[in-house]
């Protein structure tokens, strides 16, 4: 079966080839509060082909599309053991007058900040209310500057979809807001198990450490969706929200999958009320009766060794026929989620009586319904250790067949960082269990140990790897390191670029002789100062001929110049319009090249900056005395990225101050932040042949500060 992936639009296009689809099941009533008159004018023109359903499509659109929003998420992931910010987008629906937005959990995953773009173009910040990764649903709440009543819609409470029913997908595919597509329901109860798959492996295929979709069957449909549609509504022709578009196929045509509306509605309202969804676990896995002679009950698929159900006598292959006296049956794999849901919704810590059949005999087993443990631990960057790590949960430990049930799972290692140079190195996949003999149960424990180390007394880590308990000696690094410019021995320079002309090429080109034709004269050029011009043909240096050996490389000329001593006197012989010229020059030291310029990584901006160099000014055609800060790189999700700064921009002013170098920019930034103002921070930027104004939001600068101080 082709890979099915979540549907987020990311600014990193290469990371975002995923497609999300949703399939509607039964339709519930959607009470879109916004009247059609408030729908933006451009939405009143439907692209859907006219036909008998056109009026119903238009009606459904007018009910729901006005409350469909785009969600911009600044997310923090971890690469090479360090945090990395990026921007992604998804879709959502306003589901309360208080501005609650229903969307997918993977749209808000790792989110540091959220912005909601409404159908009318208004943009407001939002906060995360709650997330339920097991259902892939989350709720945000809009944070308007003053209290506001929002138009909203509701999920259907019943499902009656049939294959062939027309459905509408609304959202922001590829970040293109206010988009709608139409298709039909392919299958209103789809489990993502093909004819070739083993249903018992289904849960394991749902997601790393989070079996998303365990509790419902999907609505499969073919309304076109793309990355960015995730979290957007699937709507039927009655204007009801019948699903939440969540997943799609990378290959194989328009196949989309939606979380059924009734389930989505229940979970969303639980998140609004409690901020979380409580579930229980009985400690075993089930599968359908498919392939067995039975027509009642469900089969026990797996029981963990040493778990309470095993101790109570439950084993793989047993058939459970009732739960607390109520018959349960899953004839086909698609029936299993409903049973899973019935178990998950049992009261926490309640006693559960299972009627179990084995070998023709039936007996009762009583288990305690325990609160479902957290499946995935929180990930964080531990800069002092040069790693990113996640608290190991028992579930994560079981999946990795680890002895450890707690500790810190190393998820990434910074090259050259403390973990990478530890003896022996600490690698991704290892679990840090002890530091200096003391147990480490989570990330906070590990961070607290960093201060125990000294230059002479590093930390001794006990790590679990491949079933072995090993020791590693690590010196934490406190504080950031910046890159100094790379120094270089002075090189001689005469300040020109030349084009080589061999004898034969010179003849064909109509030049009087072989030599190097000046193609550019740099500002401050010693040859320029001596009177040389573009077009002059340099034919000798200190009496020695300048004869290129090929037509493509001027390296010989450069080398002849470099062989001169810095500050030496030299005489170039040249031809101009066939007449001999002589240029007496004093050789200069070469301007600093890019590698020799001072760089600075500004954490608040999430950008790499450096001095404006000589060759930058030349490339940008700037005066030789122009000062500024060159943008060498921008993290898309950082403050600089959000302000639309780009690599190659030159910042000349920030806030109220001119900035001439990276240090001054840092100072100007701190000064702007210290100012008592809630306004935007303006940036004056040279981009190409234009000078532009860009703006920084203050909260970007604070929210995106790195975790370097740890």
Partner 1 sequence: MRPASIPSKLLARLFVPLALSACVLAAPSAIAQSGVQDYRPIYRSLTEKHGAAVVTVKFVMSVTASGKEERVEDRTQALLVSADGLLLVPDRAVSMDFKQLMGGSAGQAAAPVAKSSEFRVRLAGSEDWLPADLVTRDTQLGLAWLRLRKPVAGLNFVDLDHGVLAEPGMTFFSLLRTSDEWGGVPVFRSGFVMGETHTPKSLLLVEGVPGMAFSADGDPMGYVDVDFPRLMRARSAGNGLGLDTADSALQMTPIAKVAAATRLAAKLPASVGH
Site residues (vs partner 1, CB under 8 A): 12, 79-80, 82, 84, 414-416, 420-421, 481-489, 491, 497, 520, 522, 549, 553-556, 558-559, 562-563, 593-595, 601, 606-608, 613, 615-616, 618-619, 630, 632-636, 638, 640-641, 647-648
Q: Is 468 helix (H, G, I), strand (E, B) or coil?
A: strand
- Residue 551 Cβ vs partner 1, minimum distance, rounded to whole Å: 13
CA distance 371 to 495: 74
Q: Compare residues 84 and 159 and give the one whose CB is closer to partner 1.
A: 84
We find the least distance from the C-beta atom of residue 459 to partner 1, in angstroms, to be: 17
Distance CA 64, CA 33 (A): 9
| CA 615, 619, 623, 629 torsion-angle sign | negative
Give yes or no for a contact between 265 and 155, defined as CB atoms under 8 angstroms apart: yes
Is the omega angle on the peptide bond into residue 424 within 30 degrees of 0, that is, cis? yes
DSSP letter assigned to residue 703: H
In this structure, the strands spanning 387-391 and 408-413 are antiparallel
In this structure, are residues 234 and 245 in contact, taking their beta carbons and an 8 Å threshold? Answer: yes
Residue (of 165, 142, 56, 26) closest to 93 by Cα position: 142
User: Exactly one of 10, 179, 230, 666 is catalytic; which is it?
Assistant: 230
Nearer to partner 1, 188 or 591 (CB): 591
Residue whose CB is less far from partner 1, 67 or 518:
518
**What tokens appear for 406 in the block?**
């707690």
Which residues share a beta bridge with 219? 258
Instruction: In angstroms, give the least distance from the CB of 476 to partner 1.
Output: 15
Q: Are 553 and 497 in contact (CB under 8 A)?
A: no
In the bound state with partner 1, the residue whose beta carbon lies nearer, of 205 and 594, is 594
Q: Which is nearer to partner 1, 334 or 640 (CB)?
A: 640
Nearer to partner 1, 559 or 689 (CB): 559
What is d(CA 441, CA 472) in angstroms, rounded to the nearest whole number? 18
From the CB of 654, what's the least distance to partner 1, in Å?
17
User: What SS3 class is residue 389?
Assistant: strand
Q: Which one is catalytic: 10, 106, 165, 590?
A: 106
CA angle in degrees (0–180, nearest 5) for 361-366-370: 140
278 is catalytic: no
Tokens, residue 405: 């049930």
Closest CB to partner 1 among residues 118, 614 = 614
- Tell the smallest beta-carbon distance from residue 491 to partner 1 (Å): 6
Assess contact for 528 and 522: CB atoms under 8 A.
yes
Query: Closer to partner 1 at the Cβ: 132 or 616?
Result: 616
557/561 Cα distance (integer angstroms): 6
Which residue in 136, 254, 536, 704 is the catalytic one?
Answer: 136
Element at 323 (helix H, strand E): strand 319-323
Give the DSSP letter of residue 155: B
Query: Can you tell me the distance from the alpha carbon of 494 to that of 517, in angstroms, rounded to the nearest whole number?
Result: 14
In angstroms, give the least distance from the CB of 309 to partner 1: 46
Q: Which is nearer to partner 1, 229 or 492 (CB)?
A: 492
Residue 707 burial (CB < 10 Å; 0-12/13-18/19+)?
A: middle
CB of 553 to partner 1, least distance (A): 7
In the residue annotation, 106 being an active-site residue is answered as yes
Long-range contacts made by residues 11-14, C-beta under 8 angstroms, separation at least 24? 11/86, 11/87, 11/88, 11/636, 11/637, 11/641, 12/86, 12/636
Class of residue 280 by CB neighbours under 10 A (exposed 0-12, middle 13-18, buried 19+):
buried
Based on the residue annotation, tell me whether 82 is a catalytic residue of this protein: no
- Of 399 and 647, CB closest to partner 1: 647
CB neighbours (10 Å) of residue 105? Answer: 24
Residue 556 CB, nearest approach to partner 1 (Å): 4
How crowded is residue 392: how many other Cβ atoms within 10 Å of its Cβ?
26
How far apart, in Å, are the Cα atoms of 354 and each of 297, 365, 473, 530?
11, 5, 51, 98
Q: Which residues are catalytic?
A: 106, 136, 230
């Amino acid at each position: 079966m082709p890979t099915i992936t979540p549907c987020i639009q990311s600014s990193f296009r290469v990371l975002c080839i995923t497609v999300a689809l949703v399939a509607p099941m039964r339709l519930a009533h959607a009470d879109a509060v916004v009247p059609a008159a408030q729908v933006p004018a451009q939405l009143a023109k439907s692209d859907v082909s006219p036909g008998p359903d056109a009026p119903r499509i238009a009606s459904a659109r007018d009910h729901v599309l006005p409350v469909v929003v785009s969600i911009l998420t600044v997310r923090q992931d971890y690469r090479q053991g360090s945090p990395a910010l990026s921007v992604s987008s998804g879709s959502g629906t306003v589901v309360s007058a208080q501005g609650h937005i229903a969307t997918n959990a993977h749209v808000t995953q790792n989110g540091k900040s959220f912005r909601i773009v409404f159908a009318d173009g208004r943009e407001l910040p939002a906060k995360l209310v709650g997330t339920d990764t097991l259902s892939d649903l989350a709720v945000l709440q809009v944070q308007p500057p003053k209290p506001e009543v929002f138009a909203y819609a509701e999920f259907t409470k019943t499902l009656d979809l049939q294959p062939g029913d027309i459905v509408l997908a609304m959202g922001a595919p590829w970040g293109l807001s206010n988009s709608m597509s139409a298709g039909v329901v392919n299958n209103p109860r789809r489990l993502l198990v093909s004819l070739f798959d083993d249903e018992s492996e289904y849960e394991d295929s749902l997601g790393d450490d989070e079996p998303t979709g365990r509790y419902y069957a999907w609505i499969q449909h073919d309304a076109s969706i793309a990355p960015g549609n995730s979290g957007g509504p699937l709507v039927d022709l009655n204007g009801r929200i019948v699903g939440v578009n969540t997943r799609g196929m990378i290959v194989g045509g328009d196949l989309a999958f939606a979380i059924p509306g009734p389930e989505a509605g229940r979970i969303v309202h639980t998140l609004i009320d409690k901020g979380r969804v409580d579930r229980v676990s009985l400690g075993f896995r089930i599968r359908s009766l498919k392939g067995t002679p039975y027509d009642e009950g469900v089969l026990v698929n797996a029981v963990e060794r040493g778990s309470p159900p095993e101790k109570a006598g439950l084993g793989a292959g047993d058939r459970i026929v009732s739960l607390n006296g109520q018959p349960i049956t899953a004839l086909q794999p698609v029936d299993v989620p409903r049973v899973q849901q019935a178990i998950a919704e049992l009261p926490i810590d309640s006693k559960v009586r299972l009627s179990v059949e084995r070998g023709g005999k039936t007996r009762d087993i009583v288990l305690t319904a325990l609160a479902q443990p957290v499946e995935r631990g929180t990930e964080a960057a531990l800069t002092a250790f040069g790693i990113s790590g996640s608290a190991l949960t028992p579930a994560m430990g079981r999946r990795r067949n680890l002895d450890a049930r707690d500790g810190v799972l190393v998820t990434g290692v910074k090259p050259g960082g403390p973990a990478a140079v530890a003896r022996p190195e600490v690698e991704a996949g290892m679990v840090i269990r002890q530091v200096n003999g003391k147990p480490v149960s989570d990330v906070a424990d590990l961070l607290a140990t960093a201060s125990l180390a000294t230059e002479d007394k590093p930390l001794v880590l006990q790590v679990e790897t491949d079933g072995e308990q090993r020791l590693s000696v690590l010196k934490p690094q406190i504080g950031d390191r910046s890159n100094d410019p790379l120094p270089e021995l002075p090189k001689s320079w005469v300040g020109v670029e030349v084009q080589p002309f061999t004898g034969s090429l010179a003849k064909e080109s109509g030049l009087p002789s072989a030599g190097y034709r000046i193609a550019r004269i740099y500002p401050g050029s010693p040859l320029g100062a001596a009177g040389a011009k573009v077009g002059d043909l340099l034919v000798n240096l200190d009496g020695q001929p300048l004869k290129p050996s090929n037509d493509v490389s001027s390296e010989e000329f450069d080398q002849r110049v470099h062989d001169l001593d810095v500050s030496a006197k030299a005489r170039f012989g040249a031809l101009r319009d066939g007449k001999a010229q002589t240029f007496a020059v004093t050789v200069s030291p070469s301007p600093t090249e890019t590698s020799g310029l001072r760089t600075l990584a500004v954490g608040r901006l999430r950008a790499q900056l450096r001095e404006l160099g000589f060759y930058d000014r030349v490339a940008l055609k700037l005066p030789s005395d122009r000062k500024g800060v060159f943008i060498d790189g921008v993290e898309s999700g950082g403050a600089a990225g959000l302000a639309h700064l780009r690599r190659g921009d030159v910042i000349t002013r920030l806030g109220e101050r001119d900035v001439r170098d990276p240090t001054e920019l840092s100072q100007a930034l701190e000064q702007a932040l210290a100012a008592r103002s809630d306004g935007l921070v303006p940036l004056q930027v040279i981009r190409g042949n234009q000078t532009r104004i860009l703006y920084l939001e203050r909260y970007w600068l604070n929210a995106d500060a790195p975790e370097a101080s740890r």
